[in-house]
Amino acid sequence: MDRSVKIVLDTCALIWWSLDPERLSQSAKKVCNQMEREKNGIVPSIAIWEIAIKIKNKKLDLGVNLNEYVASLKQSSVVRIVPIDEDVWLESVKLEWSHRDPVDRVVVALATSNQASIITADKEIRDFYSDVIW
């Protein structure tokens, strides 16, 4: 992979990379190891929102305090949490994709605008976006 390539982690990939790397595929582990060396990971801020919603609805237990988890991500030199601005929101709407999940649409729009690869196990994203690692 070219050093200039950025990596966008979807919500599950973020959780698995940071807390349970054995859940990543072999290809995703390899790219995450490279991402750790190159410090080129991107996390959309909406992934933090999705994690918080899943915790609130008792569909996810991180095993760690959410605020501490987010603080550790923010201190990381490997990934940066990026705010989703109006350009990415508008790009997510322009995607010629019937998928309605706003988080997935933002992940793809963010990757598109950054010319980045996506690490995801999500089949709908993998079927739509050409540069996916899993």
For residues 51-85, b (16+ Cβ closer than 10 Å) or e, as one string? beeeeeeeebeeeeeeeebbeebeeeebbebbebe
Q: What is the pLDDT of residue 4?
A: 63
Other beta carbons less than 10 A from residue 125's beta carbon: 21
**Which contacts qualify for 50-59: CB closer than 8 Å, 24 or more apart?**
50/11, 50/103, 51/11, 51/14, 51/15
Domain of residue 64: give its range: 7-133
pTM of the model: 0.92
pLDDT band at residue 3, thresholds of 50, 70 and 90?
low
Q: What is the pLDDT of residues 35-60, one digit of tens each?
A: 999 999 999 999 999 999 999 999 99
In-domain check, residue 1? no
| Alpha helices, DSSP H, located in 5-122 | 11-19, 26-38, 45-56, 66-75, 86-94, 102-114
In a domain, 104, yes or no: yes
Q: Is residue 2 part of a domain?
A: no
Instruction: Count how many domains the chain has.
Output: 1
pLDDT for 5 equals 86
Which 3 state secondary structure label does DSSP give 32? helix
Q: What is the pLDDT of residue 2?
A: 47
Residue 127 lies in a domain: yes
Cα 97 vs. chain centroid, distance in angstroms? 19
Q: Evaluate whether residue 58 is within a structural domain.
A: yes
Residue 63 lies in a domain: yes
Q: Look up the CATH number of the domain holding residue 11.
A: 3.40.50.1010
Q: Mind listing the pLDDT tens digit for each residue in 81-129? A: 999 999 999 999 999 999 999 999 999 999 999 999 999 999 999 999 9
Classify residue 54: in a domain, yes or no.
yes
